[in-house]
Every structure is written in structure tokens, then in C-alpha cells.
Chains A and B, each alone.
Chain A
Amino acid sequence: MSTTQEASAGRRARADERVAAVGLWRRLLVKPELGSLIGAVVILAFFSLQSDVFRSLGGVANWLDVASTLGIMAVAVALLMIGGHFDLSAGVMTGTTALTVGIVAVRLDQNIWVAIAAALVLALAVGFLNGWLVTRTGLPSFIITLGTFLMLQGLNLGLTKLFTGTVIVRGIADAPGYHSAELLLASTISVFGQPFRVAIVWWLLATAVASWVLLKTRFGNWVFATGGDEVASRNVGVPAQRTTIVLFMTTAGAAWLVGSISAVRLTSVQANAGTGQELIYIVAAVIGGCLLTGGFGSAIGAALGALVFGMTQQGIVYLNWDADWFYFFLGAMLLLAVLTNRLVRRYAEAARR
């Protein structure tokens, strides 16, 4: 008896040694943010070497600004993607909330905070509707949110014209309470004499909170599980439907934050604001290591994906290149990210099948 146990222990020890050799690789590979971190470092190095404006404090403040509002959305979209869904209405939603802030504050003569609260209620309601429809019907979220996307796009234009007679809402700066809102959402913070947009702080905060929730809480575990295998998660007692609905409401909530920031900062909102951005959020999340099939990804990765995006967009401007190159770069990065992610999934899921 004891000899067989020793024999099996010896076999196990040998197996362990073989696994230990690839242990480090596996540990690195299963970190979803690895690819976007490498990408961000390479792009930072490339543009910094080419352009001194890019590496100046003013340049940094600029590309961080581009990355910030995009990053807030990318992080929320990443959570939703890990949970196994897409939200095509996320882009136009930033426009809807910004327009709501403008119309309620300017046309309905309300305090700006009332307008911002109204936009939040509206956003959460649309998020709930998206999530409820997806969980109820079992249809792909792609098609459900394409529907809400088109509806919101129509409403944005139609209602803006109805309220203002034009396709733009102006004069948000004149609303009562504007200065406190500006302080919180659109002010700048001086670092080494260089003003940085406060949205950057919101971006970092959103990334930190999302990352903590994802990795350290029960809800985070449910997000991974629901995206990985919804039926299996339900069978072991995960409230999968509630998780999905909360994720859609989170995306809508992020759109509300971004919409409010842009309404307060620009003091006027175009009726077509935000349209087309939804794909860019998804690209940033994928660059950040999210699998399109759900169940895998990271909030920090998505934030880095947004950073890659911001740096590339501003870097190309600073180098005086044709802006068309931007899309080429973006597409190349997306392809690279998808190919890397595919390897990860193969390794983690199919290795022992």
C-alpha cells in the first residue's frame, strides 16, 4: 500500500516538474492585459522618439485627455464583454445623455444638477431595457442594442429639433449650478504647471473601481462566469440575468458620465454626438484582451487599450501625418490583439480537451 502511494507521489512530482517549466509562460499568457501593456509601451516609445511635442507635458495632457473619456466607456464596455454581451447603443447614449442635460437645463430652465440627474435616470432606464430585453428574449445583444442604437439616434435628432428648432443645444453655461458642475466634470488640475483635464481622474477612478469589482467581489466572479457559460453559471446558482442587466446599466451609467462631462465642458451639444463611437469602445476593450466570446478580459487592459488609442490619434497629428493612417494603425492593432487573444483562449480552454 505504502509503496504504491510512494510510486504515485513520485509520478506526481515528475509531472509537476514538467508543468513548472511552462508555469511562467502560462501565468503571463493568462494575464489578459499583457498584450495591451506591450502595445502601449511600444507606441509610447515610437511617438516619443519621433516627436518632442508628444513627449512634452502639454502633449501628454492632450493624449491623456483623448484617452480619458474613451477609457471610461471602454472599461464599462469591457465589463459587459466579459459578461458575454455587446452594447451598440453605448456611443449614441453619450449623445443622448449630453442632449438631455442640455435640453433640461436650457429649454426647461432647470438647475444643471437636476438636468444631470434626469439624464442619469434616463440612461439607467435604457440600460435596464437593453439588459431586460436581452435576458428575456435570449436574442444576441448585438441585434437588440442595434435596435436601441437606431431608436436613440432618431430620438436624439427628432427631439433636439423639436425643442430647439436646430440640431444643436447651446447655452449650457448659463444654467444655474453650472460652476459646481464645471468644477467636478470639466475643470483642470495643474501638475508641474501643466493643466490636466479632470476627466483623467474619473477615468483612473473608473478603471480602479471596475478592476476591483471584477477581481475581488462576488459580482466580478459572476461576470466572468455568466460570460463564460451562462447555463452552467445559472445551474450553480449565479443570478445570471441580474448580472447581465446590471452590466448593461453600468455601460449606460458610464455613458451618462461621459455625456455629462462633454455637455458641461463644451457647453453645447450636437444632435449627432457620440454616434459611431461604440465600435471604438469595443476595439479598445479587445486591444485590452477581452475575448469577443466573453468570459475573459480585464478592466485595466481596456483602459490601456484606450490609452493606445489616444496616443495613436494624437501622435499622428503631431507627426503631421495624414489622419487616414490612424485607421490603418487601429485596424492593424485590432487584428494583432484578436490573434493574440485567440492563442490565449486556445491555451486556456482547449489544451486538455
Chain B
Amino acid sequence: MSAAAGDRPDVPLLELRGIGKDFGSVIALDDISTTVRAGQVTCVLGDNGAGKSTLIKVLSGVHRPTRGELLLDGQPVNFGAPREALDAGIATVFQDLAMIPLLAIWRNFFLGSEPTTGWGPFRRFDSAQAKEITRRELGAMGIDIRDPDQPVGTLSGGERQSVAIARAVHFGARVLILDEPTSALGVKQAGVVLRYIAQARDRGLGVVFITHNPHHAHPVGDRFLLLNRGRSMGDFAKGELSREELTAMMAGGDELTELAEELERPTGR
């Protein structure tokens, strides 16, 4: 399906070369390399605390990498702030969603990228347009908001996550990063998100998708970066890895076999 885009010999949209990040004496990431190509989905997989969120925070300009290089269109870049990554067309759904609970949905949706109308000192936030787009984009996700003026804090966890995803999809011009976007979603909404990822890929965006669920990752992923305790356990193309292998590697292969044996052992005497 996306093989045509994948075969293009052009430079990757984003490339990571030996990225490392320390927090004081904690080495959160070390020597991570992978690529994000236009029209492809790169999945990042790993246990809790493996460094997935830290990695995407490096890509989205929240953290500066301690070591290594980040290349955008083959040019080294150094994002000093999330704003710079956003301006480069990289939009992110953070694991904590980055939403302001007391702020209305439409204000959250356009936070940091507000459309304006009017002239000179009378330039103002175009609230009519903002509300309209918010309603439309959320409607497209199957979320029917009753009132865009509702504070985000009063939404359910899944609704909040949907707003964050709709926002990133709306603003992500070149790269879309999603950090466990389906963790709070029902089966239907999770399906919508996976379809969104496929759509974004087909529009030619590069997608970075973080998940714990191999059944979500395998069908949409073109590349799989496996992390364990801050280090790369491998960076595989889709053909190199079956769903079973992926599942086994995510659960830490031997551990899974051991667990299966343990569970199969008769417990009663």
C-alpha cells in the first residue's frame, strides 16, 4: 500500500542519529537512530520507562538532545522550543495531552496558533472561525461536542484525548507525533485514530506512533523502533518482523515463554 512512497529514494523527513538524553545522572536515552519518511509510519515500542516519551519530546522541541543529531530534510536542526518544531510542521499529541483544564475546548484547540482578524492594535482572536473549525474537526472524529465553550476539564478522558489528536492532525503539516493516543479510547474511537494515522500517512505526512499494543502498531507501521531502558533493541522495516515476533519482542520474548509456562502449570494439588 505505502510501498510506493517507501521506495522513494529521497532523504527522510526526519532522521535521528545517535540521539541521547541525560537528566542529570539519569541516562534516559542513549544512541537512538531511526528515520521518519514522508508517507510512512514509524512505530516506537517499549516497556514503561523505556524512554519513548523522552524520545518524542526531543523530536518536538521540548528537550534538547544531550548527544547526537536530529536532521530535518537532511539538514541538522536544533529545536530550542516546541514553537520551533511546530513552525517546522511537526505537531505532537503528548502523553499528558498538553491541555488547559479550565480553558474552553475551542481555546485549547487553537492555543499557541490562534487565527486572528482585524488590523494593527485591533487584531483579535477570531473566535467565530475557531469555534467553527473545532466543531468540524471534532465532528470528523466522531466526537459530537455539545458546546465548544465547555472547559476541557469537564470532558471525559477519551474526549480529551480526541480533542488533542484532532488538534495535532489539524496543525501537523509534515510530521505527526502521537504518544499513546489510544490509551483511553474505546474500540470505536481507537479505530478512528488508526484510520487517521493511515490517512495522514496517505497524505504524505511522516507519522511517529507510540503504543503498547502490537495489534495497533503492526497494521499501520512501516518501521518499528524497539526501546528498552533507554537503548535501541533494533530498528526494523515492516517486512523484517511478523506480528508474532513483534508481540514476542515487546513482551520481552523469553519472559513471555516463561510466563506462559508458569500460567499453564497446574496450581491445585
Contacts and interface: CB of A to CB of B under 8 A. Distances in A.
Interface of A: 12, 16, 19, 23, 26, 30, 212, 216-218, 220-222, 224-225, 228-229, 231-239, 295-296, 345, 347-353
Contact of B100 (A16, A19, A225, A351): A225
A229 B101 CA distance: 8
Nearest to B115: A218
6 contacts: A295-B100, A296-B102, A348-B101, A348-B151, A348-B154, A352-B157
B101 A216 contact: no
Contacts of A348: 101-102, 151, 153-154
A16 B96 CA distance: 28
Given A221-B110, A229-B101, A237-B113, 7 more contacts: A217-B123, A218-B116, A222-B112, A225-B112, A229-B100, A233-B98, A351-B154
A345 B102 contact: yes
Q: Is the interface of A mostly helix, strand, loop or mixed?
A: helix
A225 B125 contact: no
B203 to A, nearest CB: 22
A12 B110 CA distance: 26
B114 interface: yes
Interface in B50-92: 60, 62, 81-83, 86, 92
Interface of B: 60, 62, 81-83, 86, 92, 94, 96-103, 107, 110-114, 116, 123-125, 127, 144, 146-147, 150-151, 153-157, 167
A225 B154 contact: no
A218 B125 contact: yes
Nearest first, the 9 closest Cβ-Cβ pairs linking A and B are A237-B112, A228-B100, A232-B98, A349-B153, A237-B83, A236-B112, A218-B114, A235-B98, A216-B124
Contact of A224 (B107, B112, B155): B107
A349 B99 CA distance: 12
A234 B61 CA distance: 10
A225 B111 contact: yes
A224 B125 contact: no
Contacts of B157: 352
Given A217-B125, A352-B156, A236 B111 contact: yes
A23 B149 CA distance: 11
B98 A295 contact: no
Given A216-B124, A352-B156, A224 B102 contact: yes
Contact of B114 (A221, A228, A347): A221
Contacts of B86: 236-237
A348 B105 CA distance: 12
A228 B113 contact: no
A235 B153 contact: no
Contacts of B110: 221
A31 to B, nearest CB: 11
Nearest to B156: A352
A30 B151 contact: yes
Given A235-B60, A349-B153, A295 B102 contact: yes
A206 to B, nearest CB: 16
Nearest to B94: A235
Contacts of B151: 30, 348-349
Which of A19, A235, A239 counts the most B-chain CB atoms under 10 A from its CB?
Answer: A235
B150 to A, nearest CB: 8
Contacts of A26: 150, 154
Contacts of A221: 103, 107, 110-111, 114, 125
B124 A217 contact: yes
B112 A295 contact: no
Given A19-B146, A238-B111, A220 B125 contact: yes
Nearest to B82: A235
Contacts of B124: 212, 216-217
Contacts of B112: 222, 225, 233, 236-238
B49 to A, nearest CB: 20
Contact of A349 (B60, B101, B123): B101
A28 to B, nearest CB: 13
Nearest to A16: B146
A237 B100 contact: no
A208 to B, nearest CB: 13
Contact of A225 (B92, B103, B144): B103
B197 to A, nearest CB: 20
A347 B96 CA distance: 21
Contacts of A23: 147
Contact of A216 (B96, B99, B125, B147): B125
